[in-house]
């Protein structure tokens, strides 16, 4: 997904290729990085692409890969990073490894998003998430949304109230991490 306002640059490392957001100023003078976030998954199937669609002005980096030696785990262009994970024990372990890799590269996690699979967190996952809460700017839980399983386009799904609130919380935490104060005009539509 690429927001309007300039061409993205492609970056290739030894193990992966991904797009960097454009470094352009949109009309109106507000910096692009003040309205965009970078979304990456701690593992496959975390819901990264779906969340990027729901957030609208988001760069989907896909699954976070181990960087080549000397390379950062993610390049955000100064935009806040949202790390997405499921609520299973294995997913929590991968989220811990992802937070470690990002911290080693000097890229803090602005928002850790924990996407529910419809069941309570296993004890091992709950423990890891409590530990990770101190290492991320904010932790937001997204409830299980059955309608997304059957939808071709997540943007067309009528989200339940709890899910809409979670998306709004992610946006607010990302804006706060970017140092952008909320205004009367919503940054995301």
Domain limits, the chain: 38-145+157-178
Q: Which of 119, 108, 118 is nearest to 83 (CA)?
A: 108
Each residue's pLDDT tens digit, 94-147:
999 999 999 888 889 999 999 999 999 999 999 999 999 999 999 999 999 999
Q: Do 55 and 188 touch, CB atoms closer than 8 A? A: yes
**What pTM was estimated for this model as a whole?**
0.78
**By percentage, how much of the chain surpasses pLDDT 70?**
77
What is the spatial distance between Cα 147 and Cα 10, in angstroms, rounded to a whole number? 34
CA–CA dist 140, 128 (Å, integer): 15
Q: Check residue 179 and give its pLDDT.
A: 80
How many C-beta atoms lie closer than 10 Å to residue 138's C-beta? 19
């Amino acid at each position: 997904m690429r927001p309007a306002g300039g061409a993205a640059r492609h970056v290739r490392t030894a193990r992966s290729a991904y797009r960097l957001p454009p470094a352009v100023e949109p009309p109106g003078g507000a910096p692009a990085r003040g309205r965009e976030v970078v979304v990456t998954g701690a593992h496959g199937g975390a819901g990264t692409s779906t969340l990027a669609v729901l957030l609208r002005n988001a760069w989907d980096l896909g699954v976070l890969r181990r960087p080549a030696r000397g390379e950062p785990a993610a390049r955000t262009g100064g935009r806040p990073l949202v790390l997405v994970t499921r609520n299973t024990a294995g997913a929590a372990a991968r989220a811990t490894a992802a937070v470690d890799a990002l911290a080693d590269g000097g890229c803090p996690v602005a928002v850790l998003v924990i996407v529910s699979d419809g069941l309570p967190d296993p004890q091992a996952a709950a423990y890891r998430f409590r530990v990770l809460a101190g290492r991320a700017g904010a932790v937001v839980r997204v409830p299980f949304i059955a309608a997304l399983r059957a939808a071709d386009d997540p943007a067309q799904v009528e989200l339940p109230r709890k899910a809409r609130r979670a998306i709004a919380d992610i946006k607010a935490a990302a804006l706060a991490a970017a140092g952008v104060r909320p205004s009367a005009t919503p940054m995301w539509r």
